[in-house]
Amino acid sequence: MALEGASPTLEDVARTAGVSRATVSRVINGIRNVDPVIQQTVRKAIADIGYVPNSAARSLVTRRTGSIALIVSGAGEDVSEDGGEDFGGDGDGDFAGDGDGNFRGDGDGDFAGDGDGGVGGGRSRCGDGGRGEVGHFGQVGGGDWGKGGDLGQVGGAAAAGRRIAYPGEGVDGRIGKGVGEGVGGSVGEGAGTGVGKGAGTGVGEGVGMGVGTGSGGSFFNDPFFGRVVAGVVGFLGRRGAHPTLMFAETDATRAQVVTYLRQGNADGAVLVSTHAADPLPALLVEARVPAVLFARPAQALPISYIDVDHRAGAKLAAGRLVALGRQHIATISGPLGVHASQERLAGFRDAMAAYGRPYIPSAEGGFTYDSGEVAMERLLAEYPELDGVFVANDLMAQGALYVLRHHGRRVPDDVAVIGFDDSSAATACRPPLTTVRHPVEDMAAEAARLLLNRIEQPDQPPTSVIFAPTLVVRRSA
């Protein structure tokens, strides 16, 4: 039963449990040399009287903050060899980070802004001009993430930032208010001025400690990142740890991130690095910051990481296309400056060679919808006979499906299409996309688990966990 009057103290817990104040302190701070029976008695006393530990005082004892940094590094940089599409947005408040709550906006719910667009209020075009996909990071104007308004109406002109517009065909906005206008803006033009404005007054106000000052446009435009956040937040939340979202897109912001961590503002970091040349993994190792990398590092480093077997996933796609009897198979790769793109392309080519197909035409994309359109146009122009395509992620596959439809190619009758990720983009497509499942949420949760273990046992050697992909068969192949 909770004590009435003043808030319960450590002494009240000790008196209720029949132990010393020092013993209660050791139990609360997770010090291990306490008998399990006594630990249970102390925890029961805490629950009975309603004692709430003082986090500031606890931090002084444990030298821990209870905060974990989730860092996205390089998401605003163009990593494709042919220029591709710069991921940066044009908002003027993006990720400035002066809010006081982790992952909270100034609207009603997580990642919510107070404007029309929320953050990710709905995504357009799947392949048949159908209704837009729901938003990934918040409902329109407020509410918990995962909801969003429908978008996607015919227009007649390309939205700002789109690569291709077909006369008479509606091409709607990516994230914004395109309904009724037919031309929402690219990443926020229809939702304000850049992603930051659509989310209120700069996404940073909803991020808490958003150290990075770059736009991070692809973070809000790609469901992959939302799945990472969901996995990390879900795991940490059940363990009383608090995530802090940070962005590092330049040398200056990477230095800020390292300084922030070295000063003890977070206990460790889960790092999502988006290109092979990113120096941040090595900087964290050098700074001796507990960290886990989401994906295998491009260079050998003593750092723990989790990844999916990209080559095995590409092999699954190759086997499916061959089993369907496709004779003229091509692939759309991701940006070749990204290790995962290299692995998927190599795995697909190796698998096709094992099936007696030594040459596979390819076009490089940028892991974006628009780059999928451009790459598919290129392949159709150079190899009009193609009847099967493996696309290295689902967003590019969406763009590829739209181009195939425009050219009168039926999917899967004329061309079978397989993606990679099994994101919400795959189920939003028409026809629904056959894809290689990338278990991002499970991987993110595992990264958070490895990090907490690393924080508890800093002398343990680095470790790695590789997840097995699976093929999810839908109607596109």
367, 393 contact by CB (below 8 A): yes
pTM, two decimal places: 0.63
Nearby residues of 208 by Cβ (< 8 Å), 6 or more positions away: 97, 99, 100, 101, 102, 103, 104, 244, 245
**What residues contact residue 53 under an 8 Å CB cut-off, 6+ apart?**
28
pLDDT reported for residue 153 = 30
Whether residue 436 contacts residue 317, with contact meaning beta carbons closer than 8 Å, is answered with yes
Backbone angles phi, psi at 368, to 5 degrees: -125, 160
pLDDT at residue number 63 = 55
- Residues near 20 by beta carbon (within 8 Å), at least 6 away in sequence: 14
Tell whether omega for the bond before 461 is within 30 degrees of 0, i.e. cis: no
Q: Residue 145: helix, strand or coil by DSSP?
A: strand
Rg of the chain over CA atoms, in angstroms? Answer: 24
Query: Over the chain (477 residues), what is each successive 10-residue block's mean pLDDT?
Result: 65 90 78 82 88 57 72 63 35 35 35 34 36 32 33 32 35 31 31 31 33 48 85 87 86 91 90 86 92 90 95 98 98 93 97 97 95 97 97 96 97 98 92 96 94 88 96 97
Question: What is the pLDDT at residue 432?
Answer: 96
Which token pair is 158? 């390309």
Return the pLDDT at 165.
35
Strands, DSSP E only, in 274-361?
A: 291-294, 304-308, 329-333
- Tokens describing residue 373: 């359109």
Residue written as tokens 């821990």? 64
Residue 114 is predicted with a pLDDT of: 35
Helix (H, G, I), strand (E, B) or coil at 68: strand
Distance CA 106, CA 118 (A): 10
Tokens of 86: 């710069």
Report in angstroms the alpha-carbon separations of 131 from 151, 153, 398, 410: 6, 7, 13, 19
Helix (H, G, I), strand (E, B) or coil at 144: coil
Distance CA 312, CA 471 (A): 10
Residue 219 CA to its chain's centroid (Å): 7
Query: Could you tell me which residues come within 8 angstroms of residue 172 by beta carbon, excluding any fewer than 6 positions away?
Result: 124, 125, 132, 151, 152, 153, 154, 155, 159, 178, 179, 182, 183, 184
What pLDDT, on the 0 to 100 scale, is given for residue 456?
84
Contact call for residues 92 and 194 (beta carbons, < 8 A)? yes
How many whole angstroms separate alpha carbon 317 and alpha carbon 352?
Answer: 10
Query: Do the beta carbons of residue 290 and residue 268 sit within 8 Å?
Result: yes
Provide DSSP, 6-26: SPP-HHHHHHHHTS-HHHHHH
Please tell me the predicted confidence (pLDDT) of residue 250: 87
Q: Name residue 4's beta-bridge partners.
A: none
Q: How far apart are CA 211 and CA 233, in angstroms?
A: 18
Question: Could you give the CA distance from residue 177 to residue 197 in angstroms, rounded to a whole number?
Answer: 13
Task: State phi, psi for 318 to the nearest 5 degrees.
Answer: -60, -45
Q: How many CB atoms lie within 10 A of CB 294?
A: 23
Best CA proximity match to 140, nearest among 179, 168, 167, 103:
179
